[in-house]
Chain A
Amino acid sequence: DSGVTQTPKHLITATGQRVTLRCSPRSGDLSVYWYQQSLDQGLQFLIQYYNGEERAKGNILERFSAQQFPDLHSELNLSSLELGDSALYFCASSVKAASPYGYTFGSGTRLTVV
């Protein structure tokens, strides 16, 4: 158990629907990162939050949004889902806002859009 909790582990939904992925960071970590891993792709950085504020944005689609709540858990909202959104979505957390080390990853949410 890495200390980063992601729910649900698996999600199957239809095109056009909306889903919410949840991440609880490791205790004491203030920064949360979301990554997407599609088939044969590396982990693509989507977005980072630090202590409730958006810190950095990557290749995140406009149909996707995220937020970090006062208790530091984060949610990634995916709407108007398309078949190509099927992927593994990982959350990672770290203590600092801008440090390359100390990332702890959750076990991911596997999203299947049918």
Chain B
Amino acid sequence: DQQVKQNSPSLSVQEGRISILNCDYTNSMFDYFLWYKKYPAEGPTFLISISSIKDKNEDGRFTVFLNKSAKHLSLHIVPSQPGDSAVYFCAASAQEYGNKLVFGAGTILRVKS
């Protein structure tokens, strides 16, 4: 039962352009959403998060948008840099379930220089 879905296995973007990574969820109990970034041979590292009471959170080049009615969130990276090339995981949690993280399958982002 995939409660968090990242339907694009990979995305290729030119350096300097915008990268948009998408994530859909099915469980309306989720109240906190996070994006993690993973380089090869390393564990995932936290990137940015958003609470369900907000619809946007920005941190430098990274912005996360949340559309609760559509159960959809997206991560925008502007401008994209070659160092952003990594696997990006979307994750969600719910107080109801002890706040443990439920992850999507990940999207491989390649930023071409």
Contacts and interface: CB of A to CB of B under 8 A. Distances in A.
Given A33-B101, A42-B2, A105-B44, 16 more contacts: A4-B43, A33-B100, A35-B103, A42-B4, A42-B89, A42-B103, A42-B104, A42-B105, A42-B106, A48-B100, A58-B100, A98-B99, A99-B99, A100-B99, A100-B100, A105-B36
Contacts of A100: 32, 34, 49, 93, 99-101
Contacts of A33: 100-101
Interface in A33-62: 33, 35, 40-45, 48, 55-56, 58
Contacts of B43: 2, 4, 90, 92, 105-108
A59 B31 CA distance: 21
A41 B9 CA distance: 10
A40 B9 contact: yes
Interface of A: 2, 4, 33, 35, 40-45, 48, 55-56, 58, 90, 92, 97-101, 103, 105-108
A106 B105 CA distance: 18
A100 to B, nearest CB: 4
Residue of B6, B97, B101 with highest tally of chain A CB at under 10 A: B101
B42 to A, nearest CB: 5
B93 A43 contact: no
B100 to A, nearest CB: 6
A44 B42 CA distance: 17
Contacts of B41: 107
10 contacts: A33-B100, A43-B89, A56-B100, A90-B43, A98-B98, A99-B99, A101-B46, A101-B49, A105-B45, A108-B43
B45 A2 contact: yes
Given A90-B43, A106-B43, A45 B89 contact: no
